[in-house]
């Protein structure tokens, strides 16, 4: 994504107001073009919010909120000050709901990755899983490697544990 506000959120800013012209001072050419296109579409007033960060302080979720009613910077400033708190609370609630109810969409494990992790969770050995799924050990390892990457897990057991905690598989 060439949106400068996404980059700023990812790099630590908790909130970026879109109508802040100083945002483009250090923007790349593609980011400047993206900003112009968004402006042409009427998306001048809004904010990008950081919602959750990992232990290293990196943004792991955020949201962009477009506000279509204001027609001037002053109007938007008044609107944002009046509604910032409520919009942040609603954004956090929506993010929490998505994470709770739709984690599988966020992690996007394939059905075979889920199968392999599920069988590991109930204690089957890789050879038994391969026989059950009628796949080679090389294919099994490919599925486990894919799952570990998507889950940002360092080991097979770590991937199984994360999958269980996140409700992506059932034991």
Give yes or no: residues 60 and 129 share one domain: no
On whether the pTM is more than 0.85, the answer is: no
Give yes or no: residues 56 and 71 share one domain: yes
* pLDDT digit string (tens) for the chain, length 171 residues: 678 888 888 888 889 999 888 888 888 999 888 888 888 888 889 999 988 777 777 667 788 899 888 889 999 999 999 999 999 999 989 888 877 777 777 788 999 999 999 999 999 999 999 999 999 999 999 999 999 999 989 999 999 999 998 888 987
- Residue 171 located in a structural domain: no
Answer with the one of 101, 131, 155 that is the final residue of a domain. 101
Domain membership of residue 88 as a residue range = 4-101
Token digits of residue 55: 């232990």
Token digits of residue 45: 């007033």
Helix, strand, coil shares of the chain as percentages rounded to 5?
Answer: 60, 10, 30
Enclosing H/E stretch for 67 = none
Q: Which residues pair with 70 in a beta bridge?
A: none
Contact 32, 3 (CB under 8 A): no
């Amino acid at each position: 994504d060439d949106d400068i506000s996404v980059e700023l959120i990812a790099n630590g800013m908790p909130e970026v107001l879109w109508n802040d012209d100083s945002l483009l001072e250090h923007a790349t050419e593609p980011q400047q073009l993206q900003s112009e296109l968004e402006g042409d579409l009427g998306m001048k007033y809004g904010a990008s919010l950081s919602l959750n960060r990992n232990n290293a302080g990196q943004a792991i979720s955020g949201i962009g909120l477009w506000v279509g009613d204001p027609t001037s910077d002053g109007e938007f400033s008044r609107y944002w000050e009046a509604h910032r708190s409520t919009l942040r609370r609603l954004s956090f609630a929506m993010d929490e709901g998505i994470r709770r109810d739709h984690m599988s969409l966020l992690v996007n494990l394939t059905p075979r990755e889920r199968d392999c992790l599920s069988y590991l969770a109930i204690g089957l050995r890789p050879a038994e899983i391969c026989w059950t799924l009628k796949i080679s050990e090389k294919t099994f390892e490919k599925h486990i490697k894919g799952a570990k990457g998507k889950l940002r897990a360092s080991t097979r057991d770590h991937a199984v544990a994360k999958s269980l905690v996140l409700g992506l598989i059932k034991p």
